[in-house]
Amino acid sequence: MTQSSESRFERGARALFEIDGAGGQKVVDSLADIAPDFARYIIEFPFGDIYSRPGLDLRSREIATIAALTALGNATPQLKVHIQAGLNVGLSRNEIVEIIMQMAVYAGFPAALNGLFAAKEVFQQEHSLAA
């Protein structure tokens, strides 16, 4: 990893905005009154340390994240944020659907079905914002 004068927090905040846009900031803001330290950890570790590493582009990282969250089957709010993030970093709706459908093989039909319904909600919300 290259050294930079940028702190973990600064690097993470930049990555969070680039990947999740306003959705990521909403998650961080929603923690301000209950667990501000946890919000900082989210910025510093996943985004400042992991997402900012070389080796995978953001598109590839979101493919992995969407697949993992779908496979978990119990992280729908986070899956929705990362489906939107996938769109933000260049995944198409069709690619996202295919990623989620692929998880039926490894995580089962219920997990894939829940993921597809989450994607449908994100796509509908995005469509209504664009209209």
The answer to whether 70 and 115 are in contact (CB under 8 A) is yes
Task: Tell which wins on pLDDT, 112 or 25.
Answer: 112
Note the pLDDT of residue 62. Answer: 97
Question: In terms of C-beta distances under 8 Å and separation of at least 24 residues, what long-range contacts does 118-121 make, across chains too?
Answer: 118/76, 118/79, 118/80, 118/83, 119/83, 119/93, 121/80
Indicate the pLDDT class of residue 4, thresholds 50, 70 and 90: low
If 0-12 CB within 10 Å is exposed, 13-18 middle and 19+ buried, where does residue 78 land?
middle
**Statement: residue 3 has pLDDT above 60:** no
pTM of structure: 0.89
Fold of 57-131: AhpD-like (1.20.1290)
- Confidence grade of residue 123 (pLDDT, cut at 50, 70, 90): very high
Mean pLDDT of 58-85: 96
Q: How confident is the model at residue 72 (pLDDT cuts 50, 70, 90)?
A: very high
Percent of the chain with pLDDT over 70: 96
Q: What confidence score (pLDDT) does residue 30 get?
A: 94
Locate CATH 1.20.1290.10 in the chain. 57-131
As a whole number of Å, the end-to-end CA separation of the chain is 42
* Burial of 54: CB neighbours in 10 Å, binned 0-12, 13-18, 19+: exposed
Length of the chain: 131
